[in-house]
Amino acid sequence: MTEYLERTFVALKPDAIQRGITGQIIHRLERAGMRLVAMKMIKADDELLKEHYSEHVDKDFYEGLKNFMQEGPVVAMVWEGVNAVPNVRKIVGETAPREARPGTIRGDFAHMSFSHADEKGQAVKNLIHASGEKKEAMEEIALWFDDDEIKDYTRTDKEHVR
């Protein structure tokens, strides 16, 4: 891969799957020129979530986050593209759905605020996780996928998006 061509990790959270918008989210990433190189649906166990959210384990909200992530299956994916990490984050939108701009995944499909979630004693249902930086993406990909689960193939629009 070149300096600009990179991979990023994306997880569609249980609320995205339960609402039936998985395909629409995948379509937005494909439409932006990202190439899906790995995907699987899994039930995230305690150990996986503890590693994935290691920086949050000791925080008050972790238990609610863990419970939310275990409400149903998660669709874990690896996407590849030019500047994939920042470009996917731009498509996803702000972590706080209420702050996400229209046209982003969270801006169009999620509107819960942190204060509303806190008041209800639940995690913010924000549909999707996307790696925030290259190092984090590499770590998350390695955590969720084995090397042989990541596939290489050529898309016919490669000349136009890379």
- Which domains are assigned to the chain? 5-145 (3.30.70.141)
Judged by average pLDDT, the poorest of 43-57, 72-86, 106-120, 134-148 is 106-120
Separation CA 62–CA 100 (nearest Å): 22
pLDDT tens, residue by residue, 1-55: 667 899 999 999 999 999 999 999 999 999 999 999 999 999 999 999 999 999 9
User: Which positions are catalytic?
Assistant: 129
Diameter over CA atoms, the chain: 49
pLDDT tens, residue by residue, 99-127: 999 999 999 998 877 788 778 777 889 99
Query: What pLDDT is recorded for position 113?
Result: 77
Judged by average pLDDT, the poorest of 37-46, 75-84, 99-108, 151-160 is 151-160
DSSP letter for each residue of 27-55 = HHHHHTT-EEEEEEEE---HHHHHHHTGG
Query: What pLDDT is recorded for position 119?
Result: 80
Q: In the structure, what pLDDT confidence band is assigned to residue 160 with cuts at 50, 70 and 90?
A: confident
Residue type (1 letter), 87: N
pTM here is: 0.92
